[in-house]
């Protein structure tokens, strides 16, 4: 067994050896510029790029012409939101999103607010899911765009994408979804799901870092965007810059593998996740699931271990690589905005751990991680004055704590 055990697949994934193998010739042998029209080097590169476009389109039910290459989801989000807002500003200035979105969306939304747009930040329910009804209620005649993530990166909760997409199409409002965590994990079909723009990122699906795409619908409706990077007019003018051919080849291969193995990996990772969840919930008391039991990614488990602080728990399980919603592990010293939006409570937000299983995870890994976590929680609870109170029958929440932050 390789230690530490990697269980942070929502943060990033290793490049699949099959992906790396596909990429390698494009660094040295087939190094051409895909925009070079006058020689074989350019043609080979262009051919490889077009093959990748098809592989990516096939994963999400799009056509190859609708794929725009970017440096990753953050750039795709910037292009989608700013590009659409600028293009359709005359039609209206209202945008709908949710409080549980990734910072990439929230920060772009804030930027647009400064530019004079009005943004409604919907609150998700306690499981992190935004309801169709709340989107419908927020719709106004001047609404031009709805941005709603497919799967949440912290708690794995899935939003009702198909229903929201249908609503947007009925109202003539553009629909963008951040599918960074969903693509390659669950079925995604931009036609059936009525999606107008969608982003995904290479490194979340066993492809390289620094490459991603924005899917931009070409008909029904044809989405037009104001480019955010000007230059040589690459990518139908929407994103200039010489194409990163090796990474594009890698992303294409990663999407092909994700598509062909989606059904089996869904079942396999779900079984691993369910086993981890079952062990934690049967062997420990005072544990809370953060997320939605029904509508959730198969490979995500977010748990709050009450009365144990997340960072100290991570320190106690040095053989397992996970992340926490605790303030102490972030640069901002603020606990997770997602858990706060879900009204989880700041005490439980400090106690949350996100486990992610992936392609390389085995049942042996999961068992070792579970054993390690359970032992560390027990040990830290022996140290915890809050656990002592809870055992004495005092709810720490009922105490009037005097401290400021």
Partner 1 sequence: MAYSNKVLDHYNNPRNVGSLDKSAPTVGTGVVGAPECGDVMKLQIQVEGDRIVDAKFKTFGCGSAIASSSLATEWIKGKTLDEALKIQNTQIVEELSLPPVKIHCSVLAEDAIKAAIHDYKAKQESQTGAAQEGAKS
The site for partner 1 (CB under 8 A) is made up of 307-309, 311-312, 315-316, 326-329, 333, 335, 345-347, 350, 382-388, 396-397, 401-405
Instruction: Tell me which H or E stretch contains 381.
Output: helix 363-382
Cβ distance 151 to 181 under 8 Å? yes
Torsion, Cα of 81, 86, 92, 94 (10° steps):
30
Sheet strands (E) in 306-393: 320-321, 323-324, 352-356
Cβ distance 325 to 335 under 8 Å? yes
The residue behind tokens 């989801």 is: 73
Q: Which is nearer to partner 1, 214 or 376 (CB)?
A: 376
Tokens of 227: 């480019």
328 contact partners, CB below 8 Å, separation of at least 6: 309, 310, 311, 350
Minimum distance from residue 271 beta carbon to partner 1 (Å): 33
315 contact partners, CB below 8 Å, separation of at least 6: none
Pairing of strands 94-98, 118-122: parallel
Minimum distance from residue 316 beta carbon to partner 1 (Å): 8
Q: Which is nearer to partner 1, 116 or 401 (CB)?
A: 401
Q: Which is nearer to partner 1, 241 or 396 (CB)?
A: 396
Q: Which residues pair with 96 in a beta bridge?
A: 120, 146
Q: Which is nearer to partner 1, 141 or 385 (CB)?
A: 385
Sheet strands (E) in 123-276: 143-147, 174-178, 197-201, 212-216
Q: Which is nearer to partner 1, 23 or 342 (CB)?
A: 342
Rounded distance, CA 304 to CA 289, Å?
6
Cβ distance 174 to 196 under 8 Å? yes
**Catalytic annotation present for 328:** yes
The residue behind tokens 């969840």 is: 277
Minimum distance from residue 113 beta carbon to partner 1 (Å): 28
Rounded distance, CA 239 to CA 216, Å?
12
Minimum distance from residue 379 beta carbon to partner 1 (Å): 10
Minimum distance from residue 12 beta carbon to partner 1 (Å): 18
Q: Which is nearer to partner 1, 13 or 336 (CB)?
A: 336
Minimum distance from residue 397 beta carbon to partner 1 (Å): 8
Q: Which residues pair with 304 in a beta bridge?
A: 288, 352
Minimum distance from residue 285 beta carbon to partner 1 (Å): 16
Cβ distance 243 to 165 under 8 Å? no
- Among 168, 199, 255, 328, the active-site one is 328
Q: Which is nearer to partner 1, 238 or 341 (CB)?
A: 341
Catalytic residue numbers read 328
């Amino acid at each position: 067994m390789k230690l530490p055990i990697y269980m942070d697949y929502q943060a990033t994934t290793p490049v699949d050896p099959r992906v790396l193998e596909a990429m390698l010739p494009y660094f040295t042998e087939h190094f051409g510029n895909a925009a070079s029209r006058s020689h074989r080097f350019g043609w080979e590169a262009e051919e490889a790029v077009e093959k990748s476009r098809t592989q990516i389109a096939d994963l999400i039910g799009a056509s190859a012409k609708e794929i725009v290459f970017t440096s990753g989801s953050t750039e795709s989000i910037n292009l989608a939101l700013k590009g659409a807002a600028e293009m359709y500003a005359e039609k209206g200035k209202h945008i709908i999103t949710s409080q549980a979105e990734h910072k990439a969306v929230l920060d772009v939304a804030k930027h647009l607010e400064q530019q004079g747009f009005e943004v409604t930040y919907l609150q998700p329910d306690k499981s992190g899911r935004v309801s169709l009804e709340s989107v419908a209620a927020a719709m106004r005649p001047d609404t031009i765009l709805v941005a709603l993530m497919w799967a949440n990166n912290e708690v794995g909760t899935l939003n009702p994408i198909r229903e929201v997409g249908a609503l947007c199409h009925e109202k003539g409002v553009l629909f963008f979804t951040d599918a960074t965590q969903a693509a390659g994990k669950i079925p995604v079909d931009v036609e059936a799901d009525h999606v107008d723009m969608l982003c995904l990122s290479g490194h979340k699906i066993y492809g390289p870092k620094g490459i991603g795409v924005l899917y931009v619908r070409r008909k029904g409706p044809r989405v037009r965007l104001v480019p955010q990077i000007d230059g040589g007019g690459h990518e139908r003018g929407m994103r200039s810059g010489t194409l990163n051919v090796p990474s594009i080849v890698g992303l294409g291969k990663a999407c092909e593998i994700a598509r062909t193995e989606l059904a089996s990996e869904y079942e396999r990772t779900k079984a691993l996740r369910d086993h981890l969840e079952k062990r934690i919930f049967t062997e420990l008391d005072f544990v809370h699931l953060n997320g939605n039991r029904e509508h959730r990614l198969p490979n995500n488990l977010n748990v709050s271990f009450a009365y144990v602080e997340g960072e100290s728990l991570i320190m106690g399980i040095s053989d397992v690589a996970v992340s926490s919603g605790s303030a102490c592990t972030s640069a901002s010293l603020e606990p997770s905005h997602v858990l706060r939006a879900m009204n989880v409570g700041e005490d439980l937000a400090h106690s949350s751990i996100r486990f992610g299983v992936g392609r390389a995870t085995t049942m042996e890994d999961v068992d070792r991680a579970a054993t390690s976590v359970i032992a560390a929680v027990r040990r830290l609870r022996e140290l915890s004055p809050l656990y002592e109170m809870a055992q004495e029958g005092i709810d720490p929440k009922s105490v009037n704590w005097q401290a400021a932050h």
